[in-house]
Structure 1
Amino acid sequence: MIKVSNLEKSFVQVNQTIEVLKGVNLTVEEGEFVAIMGPSGSGKSTLLQLLGGLDTPSKGEVEINDNRLSHLTERERTILRRKNIGFIFQNYQLLPTLTVEENISFPLHADGIKSTNNKLKVQNLIKEVGLEGMEKKFPNLLSGGQQQRVSVARALVNDPKILLADEPTGNLDRKRAEELLDLLSLFNKEKNQTIIMVTHDIFAAGYSDRIVLFKDGLIEKEVKKEDIGYAEYVASFLA
Structure 2
Amino acid sequence: MIRVSNLTKEFFQGQEKTKVLKGVNLHVKEGEFVAIMGPSGSGKSTLLQLLDGLDLPTSGDIQINQQLLNNMNEKERTIFRRRHLGFVFQNYQLLPTLTVEENIAFPLYADRKINKEHEKTITNLITAVGLKGIEKKSANLLSGGQQQRVAIARALVNHPSVLLADEPTGNLDRAIAEEILRLLLMFNRKQHQTIVMVTHDIFAAGFADRIILFRDGVIEKIIARKDEDYAEYMANFMA
Normalising by structure 1, report the TM-score. 0.95
Q: 1:88 to 1:142 in 2, by over 3 A?
A: same
2:47 paired residue number: 47
State the aligned residue count.
239
Q: Aligned residue for 1:60?
A: 60
Counterpart of 2:4? 4
Give the equivalent residue in structure 2 for 1:29.
29
Query: CA offset at residue 229 of structure 1?
Result: 3.1
Moved more, 59-68 or 222-231: 222-231
Partner of 1:173: 173
Query: 2:149 matched to which residue of 1?
Result: 149
Matches of 1:183 and 1:56, distance apart in 2: 31
Contact 1:7–1:24 (Cα < 8 Å) also in 2: yes
Match of 1:131 in 2: 131
**1:140 maps to what in 2?**
140
Deviates most, 110-119 or 47-56: 110-119
> Kindly, what percent of the aligned residue pairs are identical?
65
- 1:99–1:138: 8 Å Cα contact kept in structure 2? yes
Q: Which residue of structure 2 lines up, in the alignment, with residue 87 of structure 1?
A: 87
Q: Is the 8 A contact 1:38 1:215 kept in 2?
A: yes
Asked if structure 2 preserves the Cα contact closer than 8 Å seen for 1:187 and 1:193, the reply is: yes
Q: Is the 8 A contact 1:202 1:235 kept in 2?
A: no
- Verify the 8 A CA contact 1:38 1:238 in the aligned structure 2: no
1:147-199 CA distances to partner (integer Å, 9 max, x unpaired)? 00000000010011210000001011111111111111111111111000001
Are residues 1:225 and 2:225 paired? Answer: yes
Cα offset, 1:74, TM superposition: 1.8
Give the drift of 1:119.
2.0
Q: How far apart, in 1, do the equivalents of 2:145 and 2:13 lie?
A: 36
Moved more, 182-191 or 64-73: 64-73
Q: CA RMSD in A?
A: 1.4
Please say if residues 148 and 168 of structure 1, whose CA atoms lie closer than 8 Å, have aligned partners that are also in contact: yes
The residue aligned with 2:115 is 115
Structure 2 residue ranges without an equivalent (≥5): none
Please give the per-residue CA displacement for 1:186-226, whole angstroms capped at 9, x wherever unaligned.
11111111000001111111111100000011000100112
Q: Matched residues in 2 for 1:195 and 1:77: separation?
A: 19
Equivalent residue of 1:212, what SS?
A: strand
**Whole-Å Cα distance in 2 between the matches of residues 65 and 184 of structure 1?**
20
Determine helix, strand or coil for the equivalent of 2:116. coil
Once the two structures are TM-superposed, the CA of residue 98 in structure 1 deviates from its matched residue by: 1.1
Aligned AA (2:20): V
Q: Distance in 2 between matches of 1:118 and 1:225?
A: 36
Q: Sort the Cα spacing of 1:195 and 1:89 in 2 relative to 1 into closer, same or farther, 3 A.
A: same
Partners of 1:23 and 1:12 lie apart in 2 by: 18
Following superposition, the deviation at residue 9 of structure 1 comes to 0.7
Q: Please give the TM-score of this superposition, normalised by the length of structure 2.
A: 0.95
Aligned counterpart, 2:76: 76
1:8–1:20: 8 Å Cα contact kept in structure 2?
yes
